[in-house]
Homo-oligomer: A and B are copies of this chain.
């Protein structure tokens, strides 16, 4: 990549976005198919670049968890190719007619039709897979992308991006359909995020520091994926076998993810019966339970919870447990401590299910299933670029449709006003 100013990068991306918006969706899909084949064929170069990144990161003392996120192996490259191919096979949202009616008063035919947002800037950490995933979702939905990954992944990203560039050229698409930003200068990133009218959306994906940096500097719209402080409420009418299974799995199946459960709320009416089972099952899976006073009384072995344990995103094998008074108590707690991400209830009572769904305003309310189901795959979006916890534009997992806008196409027979 020739070094360019952030504004030049954004201008060239905008130009390319016009071409992508007019392109045949089949060409966009074929480009992704080519990228999948290139990934499968050129694993060697990518892996070599990645080994250099990993060695440098180890030498620089990057924490183990971060090194693991940075690392690629042949299987991971294979999974990336498969996921690009999956996105290529998803139906294109471009041109989808979401409304078509004739307005009686005006006699106008009014259609709402999907079109790409335009240029999407993705700001993420040292996870090279995101380079490929974000590019493929942006391209499938007809958007140009500007990709800025973490500095520790620079060699891996460059190797992956060269495959992206080849796929674009092979299918006659403008090179600026995707741009890899290698600068690590924060002022330059801030300048990029200020390119109003050129960049249509910025998506930060990473820790709170990254999200807050983007929010602070962006003059363009931002969809942020924030903390996931997810609760599971076990109501008195719950199937307790199901409840035990769901709570343990929601905590332990992938504790570092944003949709893992951080806190279990237990209805006082069943606390005596359910808490010993829950605490026992959690302990058996190596989970530290931090309980409120009522929980401590019923399960004397648990760690006493401090006030800050409620509302905490542990991202590890720690769970807060609290006894609440029925639905009202659970809703109160969640309104105070939830982060609008995912909130689950276990109950067989249909009225309580509906009331919980109505009163808890999270992006995803889950009834009788694990919080970990809040995921583009499980919810049938095909793929996701992130989970939005703010209400504008998209709330919850964002798939291809969320990377488009809907505009009006109005047809008349000479109507004036």
Contacts and interface: CB of A to CB of B under 8 A. Distances in A.
Most buried by B among A358, A363, A414: A414
Nearest to A365: B409
Contacts of A373: 106, 108, 410, 412, 415, 417
Given A392-B405, A407-B365, A408-B363, A103 B370 contact: no
Interface in A365-388: 365-370, 372-375, 377-380
A245 B414 contact: yes
A21 B242 CA distance: 31
B369 A408 contact: no
Contacts of A367: 409-412
Given A245-B414, A378-B103, A409 B221 contact: no
Nearest to A388: B405
A158 B296 CA distance: 54
A16 interface: no
A251 to B, nearest CB: 11
B375 A417 contact: yes
Given A22-B358, A105-B380, A391-B117, A369 B253 contact: no
A131 interface: no
Contacts of A380: 101, 103-106, 110
Interface residues of A, number: 72
Contacts of A362: 407
A201 B410 contact: no
Interface string A267-287: 000000000000000000000
A364 B408 contact: yes
14 contacts: A95-B358, A106-B379, A117-B392, A246-B414, A250-B416, A357-B409, A364-B407, A365-B410, A366-B411, A369-B410, A372-B416, A392-B392, A393-B393, A395-B406
Nearest to A106: B378
A115 interface: yes
A18 interface: yes
Contacts of A223: 392
Question: Main SS of the interface on chain A?
Answer: mixed
A136 interface: no
Nearest to A247: B416
Contacts of A58: none
A369 B414 contact: yes
A337 interface: no
A410 B379 contact: yes
A108 B374 CA distance: 11
A104 B95 CA distance: 26
A12 interface: no
A200 B412 contact: no
A274 B392 CA distance: 45
A415 B369 contact: yes
A11 to B, nearest CB: 13
Nearest to A252: B416
Instruction: State the 9 A-B residue pairs at the shortest beta-carbon distance, nearest first.
Output: A369-B412, A249-B416, A103-B380, A391-B405, A393-B393, A369-B415, A242-B414, A364-B408, A221-B392
A373 B417 CA distance: 7
A201 B392 CA distance: 8
A69 interface: no
B415 A370 contact: yes
A92 to B, nearest CB: 14
Given A110-B380, A369-B413, A374 B408 contact: yes
Contacts of A369: 108, 410-416
B392 A110 contact: no
A296 B396 CA distance: 56
A364 B407 CA distance: 6
A361 interface: yes
A193 to B, nearest CB: 13
